[in-house]
Structure 1
Amino acid sequence: MSLDGAYDSGNIFAKILKGEMPCVKVYEDDAVLAFMDIFPQSPGHTLVVPKSPARNLLDLDDDALQAAMVRVKKIATAVRTALDPDGIVITQFNGAPAGQTVFHIHFHIIPRWEDKPLGRHGGTQADMDELKAQAERIAGALTD
């Protein structure tokens, strides 16, 4: 797939944004929806999905990008407060060769601990009760 392919409004994140598919929500406002990655690379792996219909960062307009990045920082701060990781990876993929598997713009917030290996992207599905507990902790740490 090329970077500039047409946006598919039937992708899984578009369906989640429309309420057609469930998610374990952490945060939502007019610009983004943040929810737990059900195939986490690390406990607390959170996705921030802009509501604008764009395949990747290069397709997202500057105002939506700016709004998304402010929310990414806010949610990453809450992840740090709630889970106390040693570090946090914030990443975003553009195109299949770069590792993108869902073609709707999204950002990964991945907590890291020095003594725990990072799981594979899209690896093992998490326990839903654990995801809900993590989401509640992160949501509870959100500040304005």
Structure 2
Amino acid sequence: MPGEVNRDDSCLFCAIVAGTIPSTRVDEDERTVSFMDINPATDGHLLVVPRAHAVDLTDITPEDLAACALTAQRLARRQLDVLGADGVNLLNCTGEAAWQSVFHFHLHVVPRYAGDPERDGLSLPWLPSPGDPDRIAATGRRLQGGADG
């Protein structure tokens, strides 16, 4: 691919992008590389990463974020069409408290298979339930017009 990109020599995903660590690649373009997750939640679970190192969602450039989102969309369609998935979850984890374990921005593109525990044993990590309306509104007001860095 043309041009050099920023890399972190200690980053697992930078090594995968560079080809110094093996992976099962499914897609790549000028800005992104996509490969199968070696710890899959479901059959067909893959990752989309930018070629340029970015620690997380707060660090990635808008251009690379857009490229990753478009790649994830294209691959989600492929999971539905090729794998016969019934749905797809898209997940990003930013920070250790949010389950980020590799500190190179990545999107998990996770195909879902309704009623097929052999292919899909993933379940929600929380049970959605109504929140306190006043607390929701107060938190929303705090976020309105906040600093965007």
Please, what is the CA RMSD of the aligned residues?
1.5
Q: 1: CA distance between counterparts of 2:87 and 2:45?
A: 12
Query: Aligned AA for 2:76?
Result: A
Q: 2: CA distance between counterparts of 1:68 and 1:20?
A: 22
TM-score (norm 2): 0.72
Query: Aligned AA for 1:118?
Result: L
* Structure 1 residue aligned with 2:135: none
* Structure 1 residue aligned with 2:50: 50
Query: Aligned AA for 2:57?
Result: L
* Structure 1 residue aligned with 2:12: 12
TM-score (norm 1): 0.74
Q: 2: CA distance between counterparts of 1:69 and 1:114?
A: 24
Question: How far off its partner does 1:42 sit?
Answer: 0.3
**Which structure would you say has the larger Rg?**
2
* Structure 1 residue aligned with 2:139: none
Percent of aligned pairs with the same amino acid: 35
Secondary structure at 1:34 match in 2? strand
Question: How far off its partner does 1:70 sit?
Answer: 0.9
Q: 2: CA distance between counterparts of 1:85 and 1:29?
A: 24
Aligned residue pairs total 113
Secondary structure at 2:88 match in 1? strand
Query: Aligned AA for 2:21?
Result: M
Instruction: Select the structure with the greater relative contact order (CA < 8 A; seq sep ≥ 6).
Output: 1
Q: 1: CA distance between counterparts of 2:82 and 2:101?
A: 28
Where structure 1 has 5 or more consecutive residues not aligned to the other structure, the ranges are 1-6, 120-144
